[in-house]
Structure 1
Amino acid sequence: MSQTSAHGSSEITAEQVAHLAQLARIDLNAEEIASLTVELGQIVESVAKVSEVATDDVPATSHPIPLQNVFRPDVVGETLTIEQVLSGAPEQADNRFKVSAILGEEQ
């Protein structure tokens, strides 16, 4: 998709963008093709710059600061009774919240 010029930068052409649009079955006008040509060129250049500084001695990371999970003991605490849980429910039936049917699936 990209070509390298004598200056070492990648160049995206309008013809390449039009071809990709055709393959993806996206109908683009000339103005959209021109805009996307510039944008894709900038993306390719940015990726090339990152590739230049990404060396083998720099480990790949997903976050700049090392993270670790913070765990706590899984201890059962005080729980509410069924009566307490259902005390504010507008409708209830068989110790459960009763809600209106949705999507026309009324019973």
Structure 2
Amino acid sequence: MTIDKDTVEKVAHLARLELSETEKENMIEDMSKILDFMAKLNELDTTGVEPLVYMTDGANVLREDVVKQQITHEEALKNAPKHDEDYFLVAKVIEK
């Protein structure tokens, strides 16, 4: 597939990019190389090949969630710059 200047300008517009004439010429080359490579990949026989979801078979190793230090409700409020008897007081950021 060939890429022309109009295609590059359309893609640049959709991506909200401003390209100089030199950059457009470079993009024509680069996009053509990408599409040529994809066409070459489409020539491969992939029957019987399972889709690749993850790069490795490894699974996440998670540690047990263990509480190491606890503070009381009163201790937490004591360190807050503004609070009432139960809650932290913060500036209003959402208007109705």
TM-score with structure 2 length normalisation?
0.59
Q: How many residues align?
A: 94
Q: What RMSD over aligned residues (CA atoms) do the two structures have, in Å?
A: 3.9
2:79 aligned residue (58, 74, 88): 88
Helix, strand or coil: the match of 2:47? Answer: coil
Comparing both chains, which one has the higher relative contact order based on Cα–Cα distances under 8 Å and sequence gaps of 6 or more? 2
Q: Which amino acid aligns with 2:72?
A: T
Contact 1:21 1:28 survives alignment (8 Å): no
Which residue in 2 is equivalent to 1:51?
42
Asked if 2 retains the 8 angstrom alpha-carbon contact of 1:92 and 1:98, the reply is yes
- Extract unaligned runs of 5+ from structure 1: 3-10
How high is the sequence identity, in percent, across the aligned residues? 25
Q: Is the 8 A contact 1:17 1:33 kept in 2?
A: yes
Q: Is the 8 A contact 1:91 1:99 kept in 2?
A: yes
Task: Please report the TM-score for the alignment, with normalisation by the length of structure 1.
Answer: 0.55
> What letter corresponds to residue 93 of structure 1 in structure 2?
D
Q: Distance in 2 between matches of 1:65 and 1:21?
A: 34
CA-CA distance at 1:98 after TM superposition:
1.5
